[in-house]
Chains A and B, each alone.
Chain A
Amino acid sequence: MRIGIVCPYSFDVPGGVQFHVRDLAEHLLAAGHSVSVLAPADEDTPVPPYVVAAGRAVPVKFNGSVARLRFGPVSAGRVRRWLAEGDFDVLHIHEPLTPSVSVLALWAATGPIVGTFHSSIPRSRVMIAAQPMLRPSMEKISARIAVSEDARRTVVDHFGGDAVVVPNGVYVDSFAGASPRATWQGTTERPTVAFVGRMDEPRKGLPVLAAAVPDVLEAFPGARFLVLGRGDGDDALGDLDATSRAAIELLGPLDDDDKAALLRSVDVYVAPQIGGESFGIVLVEAMSAGAPVLASDLGAFRRVLDGGQLGALFPVGDPAGLASALVGLLRDPERRAGYVTRATAGVRRYDWSVVAEEVFAVYETVRLGADRVGEDPAVGGLLSRWLG
């Protein structure tokens, strides 16, 4: 099958949607399909061979954080050319409402179009105001996928209709098979706790974890907190006392192998996020690596942890609650082992072998009874008149 995938965020910087698109594309290629990914990327950024760069992305504030997006008339032209050259059976657009190449591709194409919604956006004035503008485009999507129940609710609340939930995928075995590193492995006296996420993004919850550190140190004076992620950690840590600060080790950004090794090594992985999460891919990665998970009780996390069966939960944004839950977990190896056993079985649901098959089932279903992907004649006519 000839599949065109559109990613709105730049491949210059790492991010959840980008990784998802990359893994999906590689899985489909390995299965023998022809795949082309259109994404913003600088001309001289090294990208995988299946990625077509739509040009340099500009940082824009969107949906509460800064995203690197690509738009404008030149991009519109490139999107049109990519569609014409690709001659796709199915067009798969990620985040079809993000003002980047996604919106442009959705605008320019007709035929079997699949849209995947990654984020959960609370009902906002902007979305309500933009609805009449976005709705006709939305109507062109023949199959809507949401990566979580929260993302599905967002789409259905804003645009009615329905969407199927196909979660984000993880290569479970690459995490399960990573070798632990002695420096990150804990002992009974010196247990290790991992945090993964942008340090300077408050929604990721590093400040919540930092505020819980003094209480944890009272019970476990030797506890070590290993923080992985981009950004300036010192800002997020605020004015911690010297002992607590010394217990926190900022590892900076690490590559995928190091992340897998870290999650494989630690005694507990903590996800203190305070909002803006629609799925929680790191939780799935931690479960794949066999790390017991302690997460804030957000809807998305509760669902991934099967209501607390596969990992422990604490009240959102509550450092004291985090500290007591963490101390309880560190004191109880049996409970940790129970979580790990159940999570190891449960996490198979998110393996790419299962997820990609579901995505492919969506492709097959929209292709039935529909034509190929083509250019929207009305829009094409207008565009060519405007752009020459």
Chain B
Amino acid sequence: MLSGLPAGLFSGPRSGLGSDVMTWAPMVLVFLVLVGWYLSYSASRLDRLHHRVESSRAALDAQLARRAAAALEAAPVLDPATGLLLTEAAAESLAAAEDSPPSVAVLEEVENDLTRALNAAFSDPDDVLALRADPVTSEVLDLLGQACLRVQLARRFHNDAVAQAERVHDKRIVRVARLAGHAERPQMIEMDVTSPPGLVRGASS
């Protein structure tokens, strides 16, 4: 029995330590289990978001490579000056992709250049319509248009994943318990990936 120990250490003068232990020990235990559960839950949530950031970045890199390849294919259908400009921008993008993954700053620069080159080459829907008279060219332009759309999607999905991951990163419990470990803070990718106006299907809006 614990009744021999000094009473009143924890609460009221009349209650014994024994009944106190019986009351608070289970409560502390429940509290600890809850904290433990919440920590592991937050860790797996963060883990899942990091996985999403990584896979959406891989998807973006793959779509950018596809766009650059499609741009290279399309360059010969243009006049030599524009074609050369587009070839250079596409080649730069493919070269940058060889460091896997390229740093965000490099990526943003080369892809902005490629977008600008594409927009210059395919700005006028009427010119594009004239090019489409040739069925092979039309197919090449379809593939390029599809690739441009997919780059836009992949960038949005990646930045959305980053935004969600950042929010969880910034939660107090994640910072205090260092749940993120050494994982780098994810970074948004800000680049212009608008589709060339001439290649947008069913245009109007």
Contacts and interface: CB of A to CB of B under 8 A. Distances in A.
Chain A facing B: main interface SS: helix
Interface in A93-136: 110, 136
B204 A306 contact: yes
Contact of A160 (B54, B152, B164): B164
| Chain B interface size range | 20 to 34
Interface string B124-153: 000000000000000000000010011011
A161 B59 contact: no
A281 interface: no
Contact of A142 (B44, B149, B157, B163): B157
Contacts of A143: 153, 157, 160
Contacts of B204: 306, 345-346, 348-349
Interface in B23-67: 44-45, 48-49, 52, 54-59, 62-63
Contacts of A350: 202
A164 B55 contact: no
B160 A161 contact: yes
A348 B146 contact: no
A186 B63 CA distance: 52
A162 interface: yes
A266 interface: no
Given A139-B45, A142-B157, A349-B205, A361 B58 contact: no
Given A358-B149, A378-B44, A142 B156 contact: no
A364 interface: yes
Interface string A349-369: 111001001100110111011
A351 B203 CA distance: 12
B14 interface: no
Given A161-B163, A163-B160, A365-B157, A349 B203 contact: yes
A368 B62 contact: yes
B112 interface: no
Max chain A Cβ within 10 angstroms of own Cβ: one of B57, B159, B160, B167: B160
A354 B202 contact: yes
Interface in A150-209: 160-164
Interface string A365-388: 110111000000010000000000
B154 interface: yes
For A139, A144, A160, the residue with the greatest tally of chain B CB atoms inside 10 Å of its CB is A139
A245 interface: no
A161 to B, nearest CB: 4
B58 A139 contact: no
A357 B146 CA distance: 9
B127 to A, nearest CB: 19
Given A306-B205, A378-B44, A368 B59 contact: yes
A364 B150 contact: yes
Contacts of A345: 204
A370 B154 CA distance: 13
B163 A361 contact: no
B33 to A, nearest CB: 15
Nearest to A304: B205
B182 interface: no
B201 interface: yes
Contact of A349 (B163, B164, B202): B202
Interface in B137-192: 146, 149-150, 152-154, 156-157, 159-161, 163-164, 167-168
A358 B201 CA distance: 10
Contacts of B161: 142, 161
Given A142-B52, A369-B55, A369-B62, A361 B164 contact: no
Interface string B97-136: 0000000000000000000000000000000000000000
B40 to A, nearest CB: 9
A57 to B, nearest CB: 31
A317 B164 CA distance: 39
A303 interface: yes
A369 B205 contact: no
B138 to A, nearest CB: 16
- 8 smallest CB-CB distances across A and B, nearest first, come from A369-B58, A368-B59, A369-B55, A349-B202, A161-B160, A346-B204, A161-B163, A354-B202
Interface of B: 44-45, 48-49, 52, 54-59, 62-63, 146, 149-150, 152-154, 156-157, 159-161, 163-164, 167-168, 201-205
Given A160-B163, A164-B153, A361-B149, 9 more contacts: A139-B164, A142-B157, A143-B157, A161-B161, A164-B157, A346-B205, A349-B203, A361-B153, A369-B59
